Amino acid sequence: MKVSLDTSIVVEIERRDEGIIAIIEELMKKHEIFISAVVSSEIFTGTYLRDDYEKATQKAKGLFSKFETIPLNTEIAEIIGQINAFLIADGSVIEYQDVAIAATFSYKRGDYLLTKNKKHFIRIPELRDKVLTPDEADRIIY
């Protein structure tokens, strides 16, 4: 299966959350793990705000090397437009970064999206049954 990680999960890995790290290690044994380039950009924003930005940026690059990173392209941009249009018409707009992560997930034909912000992603009908929190990840680990 293909499992995408949201920024909220990558942040917890960077913070050395042992529970999240254990989940990701188990998922990596059986599943393809990927992230959107948008996740990388959000993490890099945080690293460049730090006093030790050089060290933090190198650490982030090392972490990203463990996952496939999907770059934005015209096809993903079109999916972003479709999702944004739906959310605007529905009156349930979410942050652009989350829309781009969702669009990357759709483009890659992901099976599950792991996030701590489930309430954002379930507003997108295509993702409703595919969004898992860390507490729900055991459904795909075993």
Q: Which tens digits make up the pLDDT trace of 7-41?
A: 999 999 999 999 999 999 999 999 999 999 999 99
What are the two backbone dihedrals, phi and then psi, of residue 22, each rounded to the nearest 5 degrees?
-65, -40
Task: Supply the pLDDT for residue 37.
Answer: 98
Domain ranges of the chain: 2-141
| Residue 50 banded pLDDT, cuts 50, 70, 90 | very high
Structure tokens at 50: 């730090």
User: Domain 2-141 falls in which CATH fold?
Assistant: Rossmann fold (3.40.50)
pTM: 0.94
Counting Cβ atoms within 10 Å, is residue 101 exposed (0-12), middle (13-18) or buried (19+)?
A: buried
Q: Quick check: 75 and 107 in contact, CB under 8 A?
A: yes
Question: CA-CA distance, 11 to 17, in Å (whole number)?
Answer: 9
Question: CA-CA distance, 108 to 114, in Å (whole number)?
Answer: 15
In eight-state DSSP terms, residue 110 is -
Q: Quick check: 141 and 27 in contact, CB under 8 A?
A: yes
Task: Supply the pLDDT for residue 141.
Answer: 85
Pairing of strands 68-70, 112-114: unpaired
As a whole number of angstroms, the longest Cα–Cα distance in the chain is 43
Q: Report the run of H or E that residue 105 belongs to, with start and end.
A: helix 96-107
Structure tokens at 114: 């792991």
Q: 67-97, pLDDT tens digit by residue? A: 999 999 999 999 999 999 999 999 999 999 9
